[in-house]
């Protein structure tokens, strides 16, 4: 039995469902090269921005981080993502290109707001507990919360340019929930072995890698949809 | 006045027109971005503690005042008298820290030294022992090493500190914060066998009985680490694979060490100099041709005993080494009478038996002004046992004695609770103070607790005995 003989019935079965799903959510094919460039740029620059932010923001346990550190870190991440969007849409959609700076403003305000609400700069924070179960649980809860908060701020920035931009809010929440839980879990395991706090930093680097990669997929999907009729640039 | 006000209004309205009518949204967004970047640059050097202290410090540096003047290098013109600082600190608890270049970025990052000094002062430290001699390289401008090796300063340091060497920077920033700066000759007589000093002067190296110049890990037992792995060497900033030992009895080696010390005390406004357990001769060594010939000359041609731990052979080498210590002490005092001759050895018995460091005799001869004994023990009972030993107690009657406490290494993290217990115990035993090894494991990512928590703990620990 050849591979095509094996896969054909499966694909035939899945295709109508996928087509229906795509129609329902207004999804369409993304140009591979453009999509891959945006994803790679987004993922790489977001992660590098986090690493760069460690020069200015000290990773700490909950309540250790200040508003300034939250704004600094968020600003750097937002700056990197803004530049990615600018570059990606320079030759393409002028609508996105002209309004991409809003993303950075939203990121700064989002992180600042979250710090004010005592959630803190979660992306630079390690949990106080060493228990791996609680780390995962709190990672999902806090990650989901912060992801939703950031998602709302960023949705406000893109809602007029991007079709069905509200989808970004649950997507961001889910991505942060999974990524922070993963990072805290890895950080906890490493810390148990090494007895060094640097383990938490490594865990957060993994978390940010996951956030960057997953949110990159989401961004590619979102930004390559048809703009809304009410779309306007600033 | 009115016309000035009118022109100001015109200027503002003109710029408002330019900003609102001619700037694109992207350009408008660049304004807060530029302000944000400016803030980043300002805070960048503060690294991990964004506050206004650095800006204030820089302003003070730029505009020297009567109360805050950069200390000149010439001791004669020094505004801060080392004697004053030394006596002031000896009246209170000594709170020192060693700053090394091994497994540490402090010497290499441009902001490393100001940041470290500022944080230490804020945490009520009063003494810093910055490394100036390590792996056959110096961390200050040394003409002696320039002549011998071609490098006046460690090459990487000259790249990251193009205008001011680390020792000068440490002194400038440290004295502004009233810190005592006592340069630390970390490697003493130890050198990498691959270093220029060792390869160009193999006759300066001492040898074991089998003729090997290589130092065994067993020579550095006690407070030292176990065998270095590849990972640990990597983490140790390129620690050399094989180490040798300059012969402390060799006149040319003695001249080299004396010259390095003289450079530091005559060209820099230091409060003293410090050697540690590497300022010694490991008991396995001493079978090099020079030492053997010297021994034979004094023992009717007899060869040294085969057993390196032979009591007479230990005593003979220790006495020879002590003679050099006495000479070096006299040279230091002749050049800089106020400079302290500080020593940070292992506990006395170990230091003598394994390193031929007879520091009891040195103290008895008044060659040592300040002792910082390394008591790197994990168990509190063992730690307190060392503190209670008669040698330390009797030394305290003569000179200030403080206790060297290990705050951890990358491979051996130490909890704050252990540090706290040891500090409290040292205070209970009425020692003059404590010194921590080393800066990077006081409060950093390479500790068991978070840096912020660690800082908070140290702040509380050092706050209950104000200076």
* B28-81: pLDDT as tens digits: 445 554 444 444 443 333 334 333 233 333 333 333 333 333 233 333 333 445
Residue A20 lies in a domain: no
Assess whether B165 and B208 both reside in one domain. yes
**Range(s) of the domain holding residue B433:** 81-463
For B292-339, write each residue's pLDDT tens digit. 999 999 999 999 999 999 999 999 999 999 999 999 999 999 999 999
- Residue B265 has what pLDDT? 95
- Residue A137 has what pLDDT? 95
Residue B251 lies in a domain: yes
Residues of B in contact with A104 (CB under 8 A): 29, 33
Residue B208 lies in a domain: yes
Assess whether B64 and B134 both reside in one domain. no
Does pLDDT of A106 surpass 50?
yes
Best of B20, B23, B29 to disrupt the A interface (most A CBs within 10 Å) is B29
Question: Which of B44, B445, B452 is opposite residue A56, by nearest beta carbon?
Answer: B44
Q: How many domains does chain B have?
A: 2
- Residue B16 has what pLDDT? 52
**Range(s) of the domain holding residue A204:** 32-223
Identify the residue with better confidence: B187 or B2: B187
- CA dist., res. B205 & res. A169, Å (int): 69
- CA dist., res. A181 & res. A201, Å (int): 14
CA distance B26 to chain A (A): 7
> In this structure, are residues B174 and B269 in contact, taking their beta carbons and an 8 Å threshold?
no
Question: Which of A101, A108, A198 is opposite residue B25, by nearest beta carbon?
Answer: A101
Q: What is the mean pLDDT of chain A?
A: 82
Does pLDDT of A173 surpass 60?
yes
- CA dist., res. A215 & res. A207, Å (int): 12
* A71 three-state secondary structure: helix
Does pLDDT of B467 surpass 60?
no
Identify the residue with better confidence: A22 or B148: B148
Among chain B, residues having any CB pair with chain A shorter than 8 Å are 25-26, 29, 33, 36, 39-40, 43-44, 47-50, 410, 413, 444-453
Question: Confidence band (pLDDT; 50, 70, 90) for A186?
Answer: very high
| Integer angstrom CA distances of residue B197 from A168, B134, B255 | 63, 12, 14
Residue A88 lies in a domain: yes
Assess whether B61 and B87 both reside in one domain. no
Residue B124 lies in a domain: yes
Residue B414 lies in a domain: yes
With CA atoms as reference, the chain B residue closest to A68 would be B50
Q: How many domains does chain A have?
A: 1
Contact B43 A60 (CB under 8 A): no
For B240-261, write each residue's pLDDT tens digit. 678 999 999 999 999 999 999 9
> In this structure, are residues B182 and B342 in contact, taking their beta carbons and an 8 Å threshold?
yes
Q: Write down the pTM of the prediction.
A: 0.76
* % of chain B at pLDDT higher than 70: 74
Question: Confidence band (pLDDT; 50, 70, 90) for A8?
Answer: confident
Assess whether B388 and B339 both reside in one domain. yes
- Residue B51 has what pLDDT? 32
- Residue B68 has what pLDDT? 33
* DSSP annotation string for B291-338: HHHHHHHHTTTPPPPSSTT-HHHHHHHHHHHHHHHHHHHHHHHHH-TT
Assess whether B186 and B43 both reside in one domain. no
Assess whether B87 and B216 both reside in one domain. yes
> In this structure, are residues A182 and A139 in contact, taking their beta carbons and an 8 Å threshold?
yes
Does pLDDT of A65 surpass 90?
no
Q: What is the mean pLDDT of chain B?
A: 81
> In this structure, are residues B350 and B322 in contact, taking their beta carbons and an 8 Å threshold?
no
For A192-201, write each residue's pLDDT tens digit. 999 999 999 9
- Residue B162 has what pLDDT? 84
CA distance A60 to chain B (A): 6
Residue A60 lies in a domain: yes
- CA dist., res. B206 & res. A208, Å (int): 53
| Integer angstrom CA distances of residue B88 from B24, B81, B127, B454 | 62, 11, 12, 28
| Integer angstrom CA distances of residue B339 from B75, B116, B262, B267, B335 | 10, 23, 11, 13, 9
Contact residues for A146 (Cβ-Cβ < 8 A; gap 6+): A114, A119, A122, A123, A176, A180
For B349-363, write each residue's pLDDT tens digit. 999 999 999 999 999
Assess whether B64 and B116 both reside in one domain. no
């Amino acid at each position: 039995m050849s591979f095509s003989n094996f896969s054909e019935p499966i694909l035939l079965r899945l295709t109508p469902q996928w087509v229906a799903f795509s129609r329902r959510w207004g999804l369409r094919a993304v140009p591979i090269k453009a999509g891959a460039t945006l994803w790679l740029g987004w993922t790489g620059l977001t992660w590098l921005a986090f690493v760069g932010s460690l020069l200015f923001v000290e990773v700490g346990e909950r309540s250790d981080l200040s508003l300034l550190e939250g704004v600094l870190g968020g600003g750097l991440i937002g700056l990197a993502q803004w530049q990615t969007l600018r570059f990606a849409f320079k030759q393409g959609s002028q609508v996105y290109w002209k309004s991409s700076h809003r993303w950075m403003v939203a990121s700064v305000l989002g992180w600042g707001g979250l710090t004010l609400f005592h959630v803190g700069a979660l992306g630079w924070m390690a949990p106080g507990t060493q228990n791996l179960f609680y780390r995962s649980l709190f990672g999902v809860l806090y990650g989901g919360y912060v992801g939703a908060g950031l998602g709302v701020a960023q949705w406000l920035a893109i809602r007029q340019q991007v079709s069905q931009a509200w989808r970004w809010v649950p997507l961001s929440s889910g991505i942060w929930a999974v990524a922070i839980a993963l990072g805290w879990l890895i950080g906890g395991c490493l810390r148990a072995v090494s007895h060094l706090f640097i383990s938490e930093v490594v865990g957060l680097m993994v978390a940010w890698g996951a956030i960057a990669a997953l949110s990159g997929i989401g961004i590619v999907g979102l930004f390559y949809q048809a703009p809304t009729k009410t779309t306007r640039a600033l | 006045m009115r016309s000035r006000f009118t022109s100001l209004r015109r200027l503002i309205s003109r710029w408002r027109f330019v900003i609102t009518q001619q700037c694109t949204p992207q350009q408008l967004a660049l304004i807060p971005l530029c302000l944000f970047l400016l803030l980043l640059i300002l805070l960048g050097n503060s690294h991990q503690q964004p506050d206004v202290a650095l800006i204030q410090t820089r302003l003070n540096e730029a505009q020297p005042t009567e109360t805050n003047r950069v200390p000149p290098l010439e001791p004669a013109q020094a505004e801060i008298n080392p004697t004053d600082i030394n006596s002031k600190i000896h009246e209170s608890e000594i709170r020192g820290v060693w700053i090394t270049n091994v497994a540490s970025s402090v010497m290499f990052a441009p902001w490393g030294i100001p940041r470290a000094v500022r944080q230490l002062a804020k945490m009520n430290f009063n003494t810093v022992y910055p490394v100036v001699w390590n792996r056959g390289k110096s961390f200050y401008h040394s003409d002696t090493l320039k002549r011998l090796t071609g490098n006046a300063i460690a090459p990487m340091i000259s790249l990251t500190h193009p205008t001011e060497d680390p020792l000068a920077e440490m002194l400038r920033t440290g004295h502004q914060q009233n810190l005592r700066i006592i340069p630390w000759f970390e490697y003493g007589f130890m050198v990498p066998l691959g270093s220029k000093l060792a390869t160009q002067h193999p006759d300066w190296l001492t040898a074991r009985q089998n003729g090997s110049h290589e130092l065994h890990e067993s020579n550095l037992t006690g407070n030292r680490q176990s065998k270095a792995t590849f990972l640990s060497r990597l983490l140790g900033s390129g620690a050399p694979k094989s180490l040798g030992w300059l012969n402390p009895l060799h006149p040319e080696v003695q001249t080299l060490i004396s010259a390095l010390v003289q450079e530091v005390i005559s060209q820099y406004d230091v409060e003293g100099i410090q050697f540690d357990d590497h300022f010694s001769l490991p008991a396995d060594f001493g079978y090099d041709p020079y030492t053997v010939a010297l021994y034979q000359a004094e023992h009717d041609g007899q060869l040294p005993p085969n057993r390196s731990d032979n009591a007479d052979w230990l005593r003979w080498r220790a006495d020879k080494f002590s003679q050099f210590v006495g000479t070096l002490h006299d040279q230091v005092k002749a050049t800089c009478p106020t400079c302290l001759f500080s020593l940070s050895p292992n506990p006395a018995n170990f230091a003598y038996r394994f390193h031929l460091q007879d520091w009891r005799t040195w103290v008895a001869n008044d060659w040592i002004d300040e002792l910082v004994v390394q008591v790197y023990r994990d168990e509190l009972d063992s730690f307190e046992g060392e503190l209670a030993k008669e040698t330390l107690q009797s030394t305290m009657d003569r000179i200030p004695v403080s206790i060297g406490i290990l705050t951890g290494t990358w491979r051996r993290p130490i909890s704050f609770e252990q540090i706290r217990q040891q500090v409290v115990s040292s205070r209970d035993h009425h020692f003059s103070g404590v010194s921590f090894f080393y800066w990077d494991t006081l409060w950093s990512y390479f500790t068991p607790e978070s840096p912020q928590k660690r800082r908070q703990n140290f702040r509380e620990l050092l706050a209950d005995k104000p200076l």
